Structure 1
Amino acid sequence: MQLIAAAEPVPAHHPAGTLHGFLALTTEQGQVLAVGDLIQIVRGNRVTAHLSFHFKDGSLDDETTVYTQRGVFRLVSDHHIQRGPYFPHPIDTMIDVAKGTVVTHSLGKDGKDEVSTDRVKMPADLYNGLVPAVIENVSPDAGETKVSMIVATPKPRLVTLDIMPQAPQTFYLAGVARKSSVYEIKLELGGIAGVIAPIIGKQPPNIFIEILGGELPAFLRETGPLFEDGAPLNITQIGPTWSETAHDHSNK
């Protein structure tokens, strides 16, 4: 496995708090594919964030991330599940930083569950499942920020996320214009895979995350695919309505 030099962990200038957020997963045309919940619980300096998207076709994208924020962000564990018709290659991956292991469940040729355990060197800046929280703590004036992430390809592989601030974008709250801070995330494969990926057309697409900066930064939107070769989707915050069709664009 190609190892990439790790950067320093990101300082926790704005520690995460307890929350329950409501999210929508939509296509670029505005069709709602799934509704999500982000439930975040803080006990001392340890945060447990559970993000789940329930799709209209019955698919599930579910991730539970545990991390600490004592001065800097450090990942403790991350369990990510994707299954159902929307996902061509289901995943069930558990990262345990203290043990240095990645446990992966996959469907074997005989239809039975196959479990593999790989030992991986876990860098201090490993941020599976908490990239939005990290970005809320990156200044738009900071320039390039690099952190690490483990992806299953299908074996666990350590890659680098290159985070770069972009030009601010305009969004609206009740018709009033405001500016968001935009960050572009490029996945650097490294090694021979990183050299040949652009040639064979397998370089992963970039992801964009928008936040509202200031004294208490807030997540606004994420744009990018959920898996390799997946279509770009938008993750946005939503609020409750008392009309079933108020935010339902599924028939458009």
Structure 2
Amino acid sequence: MVARSETGKNIARFEFLQTVQGDDVTMHLTYRFVDGSIDEETTTFTQQGTFRLIRTHHIQKGPFFAKPVDFTVDAATGIVTSRNVDKNGKVHVESEHMGLPDDLANGFVGTLLLNVPRNTAPFRVGMLAPVDGGRLIRLLISPEGEQPVQMGGQNLKATVFRIHPELGGIVGVIAQLIGLQPKDVMVWVLEGNEPAVVRTVGQLDGYGPVVSSELEGTSFRK
């Protein structure tokens, strides 16, 4: 996949690797930016009838990001770890135990969208944002209809999903007031026997520039 800025400029390439061992799935997603920045996330989850997060490690660093992130969630133990480097180069590691919901979906929201029915009703999942050592929010996921897609000379259809972050409470009110309310993320999922995420549009860090990531060779009609 190729990632573009809101002006259409190519800014990064997106790589995806998935391995399966028994009921455990490990996904490795990486954005490699032309300015040297990296957005890398490695997530392991189980698929024993339902999806359940085991562990995820998310790194964002480089000039594209206003603040670097090195954030690990071990859902099995409830330990959440943040690693930061101060202006003097000293590394600070903070870990704490948190009560995490069973529906925590860090790192594999796209996989969930590949497995829901086309006519699914809106639903919510948990997300632990890498803010203040870990802030739990809810994501409201809603289907937004279908859109024609052309890929490899074929005319296909994609279901469009909207992902709306729900901050809730006073935090949500303050975020709106100061303009830091995360924008909705839009995801296009190719229909058929082999569903695939063919496009995403949204912020990579919850408050930075909007990035559009599309499968190469794919075009979309309104």
Report the TM-score when normalising by structure 1: 0.82
Q: Counterpart of 2:142? A: 164
Q: 2:11 aligns with which of 33, 49, 62?
A: 33
- Give the conservation status (yes or no) of the 8 Å contact 1:53–1:61: yes
- 1:136 Cα offset (Å): 1.0
- 1:118 Cα offset (Å): 1.9
Structure 2 regions of 5+ residues with no counterpart? 218-222
Q: What do residues 20-42 of structure 1 show as CA deviations (whole Å, max 9, x unaligned)?
A: xxx22212333211112211000
Q: Counterpart of 1:227? A: 205
- Give the conservation status (yes or no) of the 8 Å contact 2:94–2:133: no
Q: Counterpart of 1:137? A: 115
Cα separation, 2, equivalents of 1:167 and 1:79: 32
- 1:141 Cα offset (Å): 1.5
The alignment status of 1:151 with 2:133, answered yes or no, reads no
- Give the conservation status (yes or no) of the 8 Å contact 1:76–1:98: yes
Cα separation, 2, equivalents of 1:228 and 1:218: 23
Q: Counterpart of 1:98? A: 76
Structure 1 regions of 5+ residues with no counterpart? 1-22, 240-252
Cα separation, 2, equivalents of 1:127 and 1:229: 19
- 1:176 Cα offset (Å): 4.1
Q: What do residues 216-247 of structure 1 show as CA deviations (whole Å, max 9, x unaligned)?
A: 321111110111331111122237xxxxxxxx
SS in 2 for 1:221: strand
Cα separation, 2, equivalents of 1:194 and 1:56: 33
Q: Counterpart of 1:55? A: 33
- 1:191 Cα offset (Å): 2.3
Deviates more, 1:215-224 or 1:71-80: 215-224
Q: Counterpart of 1:173? A: 151
Q: Counterpart of 1:70? A: 48
Q: How many residue pairs end up in the alignment?
A: 217
SS in 2 for 1:38: strand
The alignment status of 1:124 with 2:102, answered yes or no, reads yes
Cα separation, 2, equivalents of 1:68 and 1:228: 26
Q: What do residues 157-208 of structure 1 show as CA deviations (whole Å, max 9, x unaligned)?
A: 1100000000211221245432210000000012211233223322110000
AA aligned opposite 1:36: F
- Give the conservation status (yes or no) of the 8 Å contact 2:181–2:207: no
Q: What do residues 16-71 of structure 1 show as CA deviations (whole Å, max 9, x unaligned)?
A: xxxxxxx2221233321111221100011101111112111111111100001010
- Give the conservation status (yes or no) of the 8 Å contact 1:118–1:156: no
- Give the conservation status (yes or no) of the 8 Å contact 2:29–2:41: yes
Q: Counterpart of 2:220? A: none
Once superposed, what is the RMSD of the aligned Cα atoms?
1.5
- Give the conservation status (yes or no) of the 8 Å contact 2:66–2:208: no
SS in 1 for 2:102: coil
- Give the conservation status (yes or no) of the 8 Å contact 2:189–2:197: yes
AA aligned opposite 2:22: G
Cα separation, 2, equivalents of 1:194 and 1:181: 29
AA aligned opposite 1:31: K
Q: Which has the higher strand share?
A: 2
- 1:214 Cα offset (Å): 2.7
